């Protein structure tokens, strides 16, 4: 290998003999080396430091710093630099020592053949180069190994870290799985449970282990829910917050929200997994929030928003059905004074008490709302089919409310007396909306306040006038019994032989100023105010007293039974049969001679109660007739179950029986029904000979009507019967 490739090599020769240095210098220069000379070790070391030669030739024996010291320096500071010792033959031991210490080669002085020197220089430079290359290669290898090792270590570390993370995330997953509040589930496509989190016990109270392998779909309360969920999973692969009722272990149905995904491979295998959660509490909270939004928090009554909603609904329905409703706006008089003087605590309790009292008297379909501090609203739906009756009923309820709220209220140590001012408006009047109706109520309430509080006022003057009249009537009616103004008239009933076979008692009110008032005007007021109960009692008593009297007279032979009209209110009293029994006992009347007339409505409504009461009357021997038969909707099946005695054909059918074919057909049918049920039949309102003949021809054997007689006061009635007895068949009947 030529030295050219490494550039010019520099050779340092250290020798105290100038001749030797020069001969080396000259010779080696010829071969293209650069040669440095040093006359002793000290200079040599200085040149070694500054010139960094490629090879050193050093004499062993030199003054000051000798060759071994230079050798020592080179071995420790430039180990790759070849150092050749040049020594006299007398110091051969030194040479051996030098080789031990790291000299690369040696030459003996005097160097006769300088080619030996050249050979040694070349050989050692080559050795140095190889050694350097070798070292570099070694170094390279080592570097490579180190690098690979580092890489492997890094990879290893990463792997370990990944492993650690996996373990961590597995642990995390486990602990999440175990502490989930939601239920994680995994099922196959048939719904068989493959995995389920333990939280199932908190949600539906099942044990996880028991559920594995069960069919999850069987726990849906409604199979339709399950089908819908599975359809959606099949179509779009997932459902989110799907709500369904699941059956819990105690059998209760729990609303659950299900979020699930469906996976299916090409081979058809698949699974459905996801989470579900019992949302009962959420639902309850939602319902509560909804409730709070629409209710007054103090009294728990509907608030203004809910009232307006319901009012709007009611308005629409009233317009559709033609039924009228009423809105009562109630304001408590002097509530502010109580609140200010006794404190809000008392005020609040007072409002709650008022709310309770209001709620206690209303039907389920009505609404009581609190729309402001001491302002309440009562919404009455489907009150009547015409304004008159609606106004009458609304007024009746307002009176009841006024009475109820005027009763003392005890709160803590206070006995409080309050009165309400009540405004009433009816609807629909025109095309008004809910807000307008409420405003009308407010206007009317304001009028009530203006009139001196504790009052009831109607929104429209017309309504007010009627209300005033009714109120007057009611006041007077209360006194009518005590003042002996009620009279019972009797209208005879005639049989096929023309004899008086019975009579119906009909009420009249002999008013000192208005004269004779007919029952159609005051019975409805009596029913709404509850006065019908004492009045009905009076009628029964009066009729029974007369029955007892007539039984002892010569009229007894002719008179069959005496019937009185019984209001539904009377009949619905739990102890009504007991009351009748007592009256019969008190008056000594023969029960077999008493008849009770009930309307179809009473007969049909609450059949169980009716059957029981009628059975009691049957036992007593009291006769029962169905009044106004044909105007209601009696079902034949019900009628069959009732122990009835008589059907009364309503006047409206008899009225045009000779002109109107459909009336004729109805009368015909009623008679057939009575026949079928084995009942007697009486035709009401017979006014003409023609009607009588028609009825006779159809087989109806008893009649009542102006054709024979109007209802008569007792003395005239007695005279009529006596006359008839002595003069059988005078009028009309063949
Ligand atoms: P109602 O039970 O259907 O009584 C028959 C009504 O028809 C009576 O009217 C009677 O006067 C009338 N009337 C009888 N024959 C004829 C006729 O040929 N032509 C015409 N146009 N009318 C005739 P009144 O007495 O005015 O009674 C009306 C209603 O008042 C009764 O109808 C009954 O529902 C009720 N009422 C009468 N008295 C009492 C009572 O003491 N208690 C109860 N709860 N209701 C009563
Ligand atoms: Ca009657
Ligand atoms: Ca009737």
Predicted confidence (pLDDT) per residue in 313-346, tens digit: 999 988 888 889 999 999 998 888 888 888 889 9
pLDDT of residue 5: 44
pLDDT of residue 2: 41
One-letter-per-residue 3-state SS of 96-111: HHHHHHCCCEEEECCC
Instruction: Compute, in angstroms, the gap from residue 648 CA to the centroid of ligand 3.
Output: 7
**Residue 484 is encoded by which pair of tokens?**
């002996």
CA–CA dist 634, 640 (Å, integer): 10
**Residue 109 is encoded by which pair of tokens?**
């002085």
Q: What angle do CA 490, 491, 494 make, to 5 degrees?
A: 135
Instruction: Compute, in angstroms, the gap from residue 506 CA to the centroid of ligand 1.
Output: 6
Q: What angle do CA 369, 375, 377 make, to 5 degrees?
A: 35
Residue 530, pLDDT > 90, answer no
| CA-proximal residue: ligand 1, atom 20 (nearest) | 685
Instruction: Compute, in angstroms, the gap from residue 394 CA to the centroid of ligand 2.
Output: 27
Q: Is the dihedral of CA 499, 502, 506, 508 positive or negative?
A: positive
User: Are residues 108 and 87 in contact, defined by beta-carbon separation less than 8 angstroms?
Assistant: yes
Does residue 518 line the site of ligand 1, with CB under 6 A? Answer: yes
Residue 734, pLDDT > 50, answer no
Indicate the top mutation candidate among 600, 649, 651 to test ligand 1's pocket, ranked by most ligand atoms within 8 A of CB: 651
With 0-12 CB in 10 A as exposed, 13-18 as middle and 19+ as buried, what is 218? exposed
| CA-proximal residue: ligand 1, atom 4 (nearest) | 506
Tell whether omega for the bond before 428 is within 30 degrees of 0, i.e. cis.
Answer: yes
CA-to-CA dists, residue 228 to 153, 224, 235, 244, angstroms = 56, 6, 11, 10
CA–CA dist 179, 198 (Å, integer): 8
Residue identified by tokens 């105690």 is 250
Q: 329: which strand partners?
A: 377, 423
Give the number of the atom of ligand 1 that is nearest the alpha carbon of residue 539.
Answer: 41
CA–CA dist 434, 441 (Å, integer): 11
Residues with CB under 5 A from ligand 2 (ion): 565, 597, 627
| CA-proximal residue: ligand 1, atom 3 (nearest) | 628
Does residue 567 line the site of ligand 1, with CB under 6 A? Answer: yes
In the β-sheet with 193-196, what is the strand arrangement from edge to edge? Answer: 193-196, 183-188, 270-278, 253-264, 238-247
pLDDT of residue 545: 97
Q: Minimum mean pLDDT among 137-151, 300-314, 348-362: which range?
A: 137-151
Beta-carbon contacts of residue 493 (< 8 Å; ≥ 6 apart): 500, 501, 502, 503, 504, 560, 682, 702, 703, 704
CA–CA dist 398, 182 (Å, integer): 54
Averaged pLDDT of the chain: 89
Ligand lying closest to the C-alpha of residue 520: 1
Does residue 706 line the site of ligand 1, with CB under 6 A? Answer: yes
CA–CA dist 69, 263 (Å, integer): 86
Model-wide pTM > 0.85: no
Other CB atoms within 10 A of residue 568 CB = 14
Does residue 595 line the site of ligand 1, with CB under 6 A? Answer: no
| CA-proximal residue: ligand 1, atom 8 (nearest) | 506
Instruction: Compute, in angstroms, the gap from residue 256 CA to the centroid of ligand 3.
Output: 60
**Which phi and psi angles does 33 have, rounded to 5°?**
-90, 155
* DSSP state letter for 558: T
| CA-proximal residue: ligand 1, atom 17 (nearest) | 685
Give the number of the atom of ligand 1 that is nearest the alpha carbon of residue 567.
Answer: 44
One-letter-per-residue 3-state SS of 307-332: HHHHHHHHHHHHHHHCCEEEEEEEEE
Domains in the chain, start-ordered, CATH in brackets?
10-112 (3.40.50.2300), 141-284 (3.30.450.20), 299-459 (3.30.70.270), 485-725 (3.20.20.450)
> Strand, coil or helix: what is 500?
strand
Q: Which helix (H) or strand (E) holds 271?
A: strand 270-278
| CA-proximal residue: ligand 1, atom 35 (nearest) | 519
| CA-proximal residue: ligand 1, atom 33 (nearest) | 565
User: Are residues 543 and 562 in contact, defined by beta-carbon separation less than 8 angstroms?
Assistant: yes
Instruction: Compute, in angstroms, the gap from residue 717 CA to the centroid of ligand 3.
Output: 19
One-letter-per-residue 3-state SS of 466-480: HHHHHHHHHHHHHHH
User: Are residues 446 and 423 in contact, defined by beta-carbon separation less than 8 angstroms?
Assistant: yes
Instruction: Compute, in angstroms, the gap from residue 598 CA to the centroid of ligand 3.
Output: 9
**For 644-654, what is each residue's pLDDT tens digit?**
999 999 998 99
Does residue 417 line the site of ligand 1, with CB under 6 A? Answer: no
CA-to-CA dists, residue 165 to 160, 374, 671, angstroms = 8, 67, 96
| CA-proximal residue: ligand 1, atom 15 (nearest) | 705
Give the number of the atom of ligand 1 that is nearest the alpha carbon of residue 518.
Answer: 26
Does residue 539 line the site of ligand 1, with CB under 6 A? Answer: yes
CA–CA dist 568, 561 (Å, integer): 21
**For 299-312, what is each residue's pLDDT tens digit?**
999 999 999 999 99
Q: 489: which strand partners?
A: 506
pLDDT of residue 313: 92
CA–CA dist 638, 626 (Å, integer): 13
CA–CA dist 545, 490 (Å, integer): 14
Q: What angle do CA 574, 403, 537 make, to 5 degrees?
A: 35
| CA-proximal residue: ligand 1, atom 10 (nearest) | 711
Instruction: Compute, in angstroms, the gap from residue 627 CA to the centroid of ligand 2.
Output: 6
| CA-proximal residue: ligand 1, atom 30 (nearest) | 519
Task: Kindly give the interhelix angle for 67-77 and 41-51, rounded to the nearest 10 degrees.
Answer: 20
| CA-proximal residue: ligand 1, atom 41 (nearest) | 507
Ligand lying closest to the C-alpha of residue 595: 2
pLDDT band at 453 (very low <50, low <70, confident <90, very high): confident
CA–CA dist 717, 488 (Å, integer): 11
CA–CA dist 375, 365 (Å, integer): 20
| CA-proximal residue: ligand 1, atom 19 (nearest) | 685
Q: What is the mean pLDDT of residues 148-154?
A: 90
Q: Which helix (H) or strand (E) holds 659?
A: none
Does residue 506 line the site of ligand 1, with CB under 6 A? Answer: yes
Beta-carbon contacts of residue 551 (< 8 Å; ≥ 6 apart): 589, 590, 593
pLDDT of residue 728: 59
> Strand, coil or helix: what is 286?
helix
Q: Say which residue, 506 or 602, is predicted with more confidence.
A: 506
Indicate the top mutation candidate among 481, 519, 692 to test ligand 1's pocket, ranked by most ligand atoms within 8 A of CB: 519
Q: Which helix (H) or strand (E) holds 239?
A: strand 238-247
Residue identified by tokens 């009933």 is 493
Give the number of the atom of ligand 1 that is nearest the alpha carbon of residue 711.
Answer: 11
Task: Kindly give the interhelix angle for 461-480 and 387-406, rounded to the nearest 10 degrees.
Answer: 60
**For 98-128, what is each residue's pLDDT tens digit?**
889 999 988 888 888 888 899 999 999 998 8
User: Are residues 390 and 324 in contact, defined by beta-carbon separation less than 8 angstroms?
Assistant: yes
**For 244-301, what is each residue's pLDDT tens digit?**
999 999 999 999 999 999 998 888 889 999 999 889 888 898 888 888 889 999 999 9
**For 549-559, what is each residue's pLDDT tens digit?**
999 888 888 88
* DSSP state letter for 192: B
Instruction: Compute, in angstroms, the gap from residue 594 CA to the centroid of ligand 1.
Output: 18
pLDDT of residue 544: 97
User: Are residues 538 and 596 in contact, defined by beta-carbon separation less than 8 angstroms?
Assistant: no
């Amino acid at each position: 290998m030529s030295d050219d490739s490494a550039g010019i090599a520099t050779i340092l020769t250290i020798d105290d003999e100038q001749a030797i240095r020069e001969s080396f210098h000259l010779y080696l220069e010829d071969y293209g080396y650069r040669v440095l000379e040093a006359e002793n070790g000290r200079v040599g070391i200085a040149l070694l430091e500054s010139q960094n030669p490629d090879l050193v030739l050093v004499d062993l024996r030199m003054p000051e710093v000798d060759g071994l010291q230079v050798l020592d320096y080179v071995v420790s500071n430039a180990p790759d630099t070849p150092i050749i010792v040049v020594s006299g033959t007398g110091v051969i031991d030194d040479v051996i020592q030098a080789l031990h210490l790291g000299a690369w080669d040696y030459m003996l002085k005097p160097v006769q053949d300088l080619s030996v020197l050249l050979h040694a220089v070349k050989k050692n430079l080559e050795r140095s180069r190889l050694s350097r290359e070798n070292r570099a290669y070694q170094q390279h290898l080592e570097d490579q190994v180190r690098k690979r090792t580092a890489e492997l270590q890094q990879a290893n570390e990463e792997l370990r870290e990944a492993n650690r993370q996996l373990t961590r995330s597995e642990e995390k997953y486990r602990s999440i799985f175990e502490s989930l509040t939601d239920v994680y589930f995994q099922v196959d496509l048939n719904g068989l449970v493959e995995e389920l989190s333990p939280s199932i016990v908190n949600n539906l109270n099942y044990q996880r282990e028991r559920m594995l392998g069960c069919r999850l779909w069987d726990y849906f309360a409604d199979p339709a829910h399950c089908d819908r969920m599975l359809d959606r999973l099949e179509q779009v692969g997932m459902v989110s917050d799907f709500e369904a009722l699941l059956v819990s272990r105690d059998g209760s149905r729990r609303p659950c929200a299900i979020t699930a995904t469906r996976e299916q491979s090409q081979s058809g295998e698949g699974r459905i997994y996801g989470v579900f959660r019992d949302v009962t509490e959420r639902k309850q909270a939602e319902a509560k929030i909804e409730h709070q939004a629409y209710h007054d928090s103090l009294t728990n009554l509907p608030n203004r928003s809910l009232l307006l909603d319901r009012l709007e609904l009611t308005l629409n329905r009233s317009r559709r059905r033609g039924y009228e409703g009423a809105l009562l706006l109630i304001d408590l008089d002097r509530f502010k004074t109580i609140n200010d003087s006794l404190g809000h605590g008392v005020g609040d309790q007072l409002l709650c008490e008022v709310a309770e009292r209001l709620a206690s008297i209303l039907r389920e379909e009505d609404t009581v709302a609190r729309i402001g501090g001491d302002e309440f609203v009562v919404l009455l739906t489907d009150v009547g089919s015409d304004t008159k009756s609606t106004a009458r009923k609304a007024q009746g309820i307002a009176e009841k409310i006024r009475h109820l709220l005027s009763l003392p209220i005890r709160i803590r140590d206070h006995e409080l007396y309050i009165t309400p001012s009540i405004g009433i408006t009816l609807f629909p009047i025109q095309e008004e909306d809910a807000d307008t109706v409420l405003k009308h109520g407010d206007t009317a309430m304001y009028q009530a306040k203006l009139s001196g509080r504790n009052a009831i006022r109607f929104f429209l003057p017309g309504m007010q006038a009627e209300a005033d009249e009714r109120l007057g009537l009611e006041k007077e009616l209360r006194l009518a019994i005590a003042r002996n103004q009620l009279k019972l008239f009797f209208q005879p009933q005639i049989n096929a032989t023309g004899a008086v076979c019975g009579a119906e008692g009909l009420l009249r009110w002999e008013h000192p100023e208005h004269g004779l008032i007919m029952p159609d005007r005051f019975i409805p007021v009596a029913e709404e105010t509850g006065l019908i109960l004492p009045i009905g009692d009076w009628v029964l008593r009066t009729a029974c007293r007369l029955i007892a009297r007539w039984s002892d007279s010569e009229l007894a032979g002719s008179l069959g039974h005496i019937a009185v009209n019984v209001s539904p209110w009377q009949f619905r009293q739990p102890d009504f049969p007991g009351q009748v029994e007592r009256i019969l006992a008190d008056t000594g009347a023969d029960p077999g001679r008493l008849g009770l007339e009930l309307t179809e409505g009473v007969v049909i409504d609450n059949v169980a109660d009716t059957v029981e009461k009628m059975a009691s009357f049957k036992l007593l021997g009291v006769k029962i007739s169905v009044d106004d038969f044909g105007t209601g909707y009696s079902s034949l099946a019900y009628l069959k179950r009732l122990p009835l005695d008589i059907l009364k054909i309503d006047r409206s059918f008899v009225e045009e029986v000779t002109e109107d074919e459909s009336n004729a057909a109805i009368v015909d049918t009623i008679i057939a029904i009575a026949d079928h049920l084995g009942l007697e039949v009486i035709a009401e309102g017979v006014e003409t000979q023609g009607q009588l003949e028609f009825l006779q021809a159809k087989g109806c054997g008893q009649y009542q009507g102006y054709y024979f007689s109007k209802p008569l006061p007792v003395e005239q009635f007695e005279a009529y019967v006596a006359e008839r007895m002595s003069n059988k068949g005078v009028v009309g009947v063949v």
